[in-house]
Amino acid sequence: MGTTLVPPHGGSLVNRFVAADQADALRAQAASLPRIEMSAKQACDLEMIATGAFSPLTGFVKEADFSSICTDMKLADGTVWPIPATLAVEDDVKATLETGGRAALYHSDGTLMAVIDVEEIYAHNRDIELDGVFRTRDDAHPGVAQVLAEGNWLVGGTVHVLTVTPEVEPGEQFTEYRLTPAQTRAEFERRGWSTVAGFQTRNPIHRAHEYLCKCATEICDGLLIHPLVGETKEGDIPADVRMQCYETIIEHYFVPDCTCLTVMPAAMRYAGPREAVLHALVRQNYGVSHFIVGRDHAGVGDYYGTYDAQEIFDTIETGAIKVTPLKFEHAAWSHKAQGMVSAKTFPKLEGDQVFLSGTKVRELLAKGERPPAEFSRPEVADVLIEWATSLATA
């Protein structure tokens, strides 16, 4: 009996990679085209578009889609889409472009990545992007700062992608775990899964995360641990260290036959509620049917309410997205219950639950001290201590 996975967002999975027999001709054409050097965020977005992770997008958004996304959280055709994938350029680059022409897209290391059909060039309306996507214009917000630093013009059009793997790029590529949506779907089908719970993370998995993952696995055929390894903000734990943590906790505390680990090469926006919707839709494209949305998903600082990222799903028309959000309360270890609990499962008692801030955890790690076992599995803490102490002694 075959499996039936959730359909891709928009109905079909996009693939913007150029066929092998067309690649040489496109490279030759690119040599004479205007050149756009992409930022780290744009390079991440290009990969997400190319592989179908951003389905139904086939390129960087044009003005009608940009405006509709920012104001109404929808593409111009009414399809739900929460954050625009934009190709911002400076004035000098804009002067080299011609509407109706093409441009070559390069990685910062000089690798030719793609060619874009320059269908539109329009002014970058930062105000509607900041107000709609981030709900703030405060440049202390990392996502806002990123938009403010981008060019004054946006280039919209379909992309024709040669590669998403730069020839020279610092850091890990995680090739073994860098599965496309088509590949994760094939893996889920191979395993006989129809329902899959997805877990988004940009941090090591602590005990509360583990609890959410295992609750979700109980109601689905399998679990996809899907860490984001694209561009993140300064201070986040490096992706290679996090991957060691994921491998370690899966080895010791998860059932391999029910667990899949792959990476998502997207860039973080730290846009809270809007980004939670984006993360859900992207996971739908990867074949995920149920998506874990916890406390302050994709948030930063105090820009968003604790459960804003859950409540935004209630504003989306029924059936407009196919992935089911799993809304979890904040979980923690209870000494009295001797296990993980939430506000829904156990009364809150004074001094009973173990809560640690990220700052406190980093302080302990830097001193070579393990966080309490009620907060972090010791094997994971060992990986983090090795990393933190290497920084302290560097």
Report, as residue numbers or ranges, the catalytic residues. 202-203
- Taking the C-alpha atoms of residue 260 and residue 184, their distance in angstroms, rounded to an integer, is 9
Give 314's DSSP letter: G
- Taking the C-alpha atoms of residue 55 and residue 30, their distance in angstroms, rounded to an integer, is 25
28: Cα within 13 Å, side-chain hemisphere: 5
CA torsion 287-17-160-56 (nearest 10°) is -10
* Helix residue ranges per DSSP H, the chain: 20-30, 40-51, 63-72, 91-94, 126-129, 142-149, 181-191, 207-219, 239-253, 273-285, 308-311, 358-366, 378-392
For residue 46, CA distances in Å to 57, 70, 164 come to 10, 20, 7
- Taking the C-alpha atoms of residue 341 and residue 346, their distance in angstroms, rounded to an integer, is 6
What radius of gyration, in Å, describes the C-alpha atoms of the chain? Answer: 21
What is the per-residue DSSP string for 51-70? HTTTTT--EE--HHHHHHHH
**Pick from 205, 133, 179, 365: which is nearest to 288 by CA?**
179
Cα dihedral 202, 204, 209, 213 sign:
positive
3-state SS, residue 197: strand
- Taking the C-alpha atoms of residue 310 and residue 291, their distance in angstroms, rounded to an integer, is 11
Residue 75 carries which side chain, given as an amino acid letter? L
- Taking the C-alpha atoms of residue 309 and residue 298, their distance in angstroms, rounded to an integer, is 8
| Structure-block tokens of residue 253 | 């505390």
